Amino acid sequence: MLLSAVTLFRERGVDATSLADVVAHADAPRGSIYHHFPGGKSQLAEEATHRAGGLMGSLISESLSNKGPVETLVLIIDLFRRELVETDFSSGCPVAAGALSSGECPTAKDAAGEAFSSWEATIAASLWQHGVRMSRAQSVATMSISAIEGALVLSRAQRSTQALDRVAAELVAMAEDVLADATSTGRRADAPDR
């Protein structure tokens, strides 16, 4: 049921998705939704946003430890690009859907804020571990998430991956620059010991 909610929220937004739509998509018995989500749509939207944010967060963390920041940006963008194309440019970011839900689901908005902050903090920490100073790492992390989220909005409206493709190239170049700077600064700091 949560998976159906995430799918529909990504495509239509939280406000245009009814509980009946979710039950039908999940092929679940009517009434079961209030058994699992006694708080109704507000609770469902909050939990769906939290779940989607957590899954993406785990993916980001794993990729950062195994492959590094540049490859992780490419991975996230590729995932979203594939979903866009497969759904004829209708499926956006599930956490953004929570962020843009109206007053009816205030806790979904908070869950989205927490998810974004956790992604930003994870990417910033990884850049810092690669030698980037923390304030710059935080700024680059926020820029990365913002540019990807915005490119998804442009790509959906333009029915084209062009915005996402351009943002991918810009973000990869930015991350490479910032990592190269960190490495060269590190070398300079080591110089007096030689």
Question: Which positions touch a second copy (CB under 8 A)?
Answer: 11-13, 15-16, 92, 95-96, 98-104, 109-110, 112-113, 116-117, 138-140, 142-143, 145-154, 156-159, 162-163, 166-167, 169-170, 174
Least Å from the CB of residue 123 to a second copy:
12
Tell the smallest beta-carbon distance from residue 90 to a second copy (Å): 8
Choose between 55 and 154: whose C-beta lies nearer to a second copy. Answer: 154
Residue 180 or 189: the one with the smaller Cβ distance to a second copy is 180
Instruction: State the nearest-atom distance from the C-beta of 30 to a second copy, in Å.
Output: 23
Pick 163 or 182: Cβ nearer a second copy: 163
Q: Return the HEC string of the chain.
A: CHHHHHHHHHHHCCCCCCHHHHHHHHCCCCCHHHHHCCCHHHHHHHHHHHHHHHHHHHHHHHHHHHCCHHHHHHHHHHHHHHHHHHCCCCCCCHHHHHHCCCCCCHHHHHHHHHHHHHHHHHHHHHHHHCCCCHHHHHHHHHHHHHHHHHHHHHHHHHCCCHHHHHHHHHHHHHHHHHHHHHHHHHHHHHHHHC
Residue 86 vs 104, nearer CB to a second copy? 104
Q: How far is the CB of 153 from a second copy (least distance, A)?
A: 5
